[in-house]
A and B are shown apart, each in its own frame.
Chain A
Amino acid sequence: MSVTCRHVRQLHDAYIDRELPAGLTAEVHAHLLQCPACQQQVEMVRACGGVIASDRSEPQLDAGFTARIAAAVAARTAAMPLKLLGKPVETRRERRLRLMRSFAKTSIPAIAAMMFFAILIKPSAEVVVPATAVKGVTVEQAGVKGVVAPTLSALNETRQAVADFNQFVEFAASDAANGASRAMGRSADAGEQPPTTTGPSLLDFLLPTFDEMLRPSNGAATPVEEDADLIRL
C-alpha cells in the first residue's frame, strides 16, 4: 500500500524525529523521493531546526558578567539569615498548603474568640419598662400628691361604707328586738296574730345605702382625676 501526501504530512514530525518504525520510515522515505512538495516541507522543518539550533546571533555577555554574578551570589548568600540557608524550595502546591495551614492555625482560634465575645456582649431580651418610665416620668416627678390622693379618697369611702354597715347592723338589731317584744306582748294579752311591721324595713334601709355606694362621687373625684392625669403622662 502506497502512502499518500496526506498520510505523509501527518507523519512529518515523527519522521523528522526518527520515531517511526523501520517499515513506516522506509515508506515515507520512498514517498519523499518521488514527491517534491512533501520533500520541501520536510526540508523546511529540518532547515528551521538547523537554524534554531546552530544560529548564535544572540548578543554575547560581557567578560565581567561571571564575576558580577559570583559576587552577587556571595553577597546575597551572606545577607541571608542562617535559618533561610538550606531552606527547601517550595512548589506552588506546597506553598499553597503551607499558607492554608498557617491561616487555619491563626484564624480559627481568632474566629472562635470573636464569636465567644460576640455572644458574651450581646444584649439580653428587651427590658419591659413601665409606662411611667417609658414616658420619662418617674413617681417623684409626678409628685407624691398624685399617688397618695386617690388612695386617701378610697380609704375615706371605705371608712364611710363600714360606718354605714355598722349603722345598718345596729338598726337591724333594734328593729328585730322591737318586733319580737311586740309579738310576745300581743300573744300574751289575747292570743291574737302578731301585726305586720309598721317601721322602716331592712330593704328600705339597704337600697339607699347601695344607691349611695354605687353613685359616682362628684365632689372628690375632680382633684383625684386631675392627680391621676399626672401619673398618666
Chain B
Amino acid sequence: MEQETMTQHDPADGRLTPERERQLIAAAQGGCAHSAHELISSHQQRLYAFIWRMVRNNHDAEELCQEAFLRAFQAIDTFDSNYRFSTWLFTIGYRLCLNAMRKQKSQDLDVDFGTFAQGDAPGSDAPESIADAVVNSDEASRLKDIIWNSVDQLSPPQRATVLLFYRESLSCQQIGEVLEIPAATVKSHLHRARAQLKRLLSGELIEDWSVVRAGAQAG
C-alpha cells in the first residue's frame, strides 16, 4: 500500500500526479475522510509557504491556510476536475491573503524575522558539493536575505506572480487563473517584478553575485 501510494506522487517533490489527485477528489466528494486527509497533507506545506511569503507572519499564515482548506472542502462538490486542485487552493489562499493584508494595511507590518533563514546557518548540514558549499556560504545567506527582502517590497500581485512562477512552476496562464487576471497582465507583473529586483539588487551585490556565479561554474 505504501509502495502504491509512493508511485502516485511525482518523484521530484512528492506532489500528487493528476490522476491520483482526481481519484482523491472524487473520493473526498463522496465523503471519504482518508482521501481528504491525503489531499491536505500533500498540499499543506506548499500552500502554507505561499501564504507565509505573502503575509510574513506565522500565526496569520497558519490561520489563513486552515481557512483556505476549510473553504475548499466546503465546496469540494463543485470542484471542476479540469483544473488542478492546487490551482483552486492557491486561488482561495491568495484571496484570503489579500483580505488579511487589507485589514492590516493600517497597522504596522509585523515582519516575522525570527524564523527567517531557519536551519540555514553555515555548517548546519554537511555540504555535499562545491555548489552547495557556495549556496550555504555567508555571502549566499546574505544574498538570500536581500533577495527575499526585495521580494517583500513587491506589490501583492507581483509577489504572488513571482512566487507562483518560481515556486510552483505555474505558467502565466495558470497564474492568471489563480489571480483572476489575464495572462498578459501576469507577464507584465513578472516583467516589472524582475526589473524591480534587478534595480534593488544591482548596486551592492557585485561580489556576492561573483561568488555565486563562480560557485555555480565550479559545481
Contact = CB atoms under 8 A, between A and B. Distances in A.
Interface of A: 12-13, 40-41, 43-45, 47-49, 51-53, 55-61, 65-70, 72-74, 76-77, 80, 85-89
B181 to A, nearest CB: 13
B185 interface: no
A66 B209 contact: no
B198 A45 contact: yes
Contacts of B48: 58, 61
B115 interface: yes
A77 B72 CA distance: 11
A41 B36 contact: no
Contacts of B150: 48
Contacts of A45: 194, 197-198
A48 B149 CA distance: 12
Contacts of B218: none
A53 B166 contact: yes
B209 A51 contact: no
Interface in B24-55: 33, 36-37, 40-41, 44-45, 48-49, 52-53
Interface residues of B, number: 52
Contacts of B212: 43, 47
A60 B143 contact: no
Given A52-B163, A72-B69, 19 more contacts: A45-B198, A52-B162, A52-B166, A53-B166, A53-B167, A57-B117, A57-B144, A61-B44, A61-B45, A61-B48, A66-B37, A66-B40, A69-B70, A70-B33, A70-B40, A73-B70, A86-B77, A88-B75, A88-B78
B119 interface: yes
Given A51-B143, A59-B52, A88-B78, A65 B44 contact: yes
A51 B78 CA distance: 36
* Residue from A41, A47, A53, A68 with most neighbouring chain B CB atoms (10 Å): A47
17 contacts: A41-B202, A43-B212, A45-B198, A49-B165, A52-B147, A52-B166, A53-B166, A57-B116, A57-B117, A57-B148, A58-B115, A66-B37, A66-B40, A69-B69, A73-B73, A74-B33, A87-B75
B213 interface: yes
B84 interface: no
A69 B75 contact: no
Contacts of A87: 75, 78
A76 B33 CA distance: 13
Nearest to B47: A61
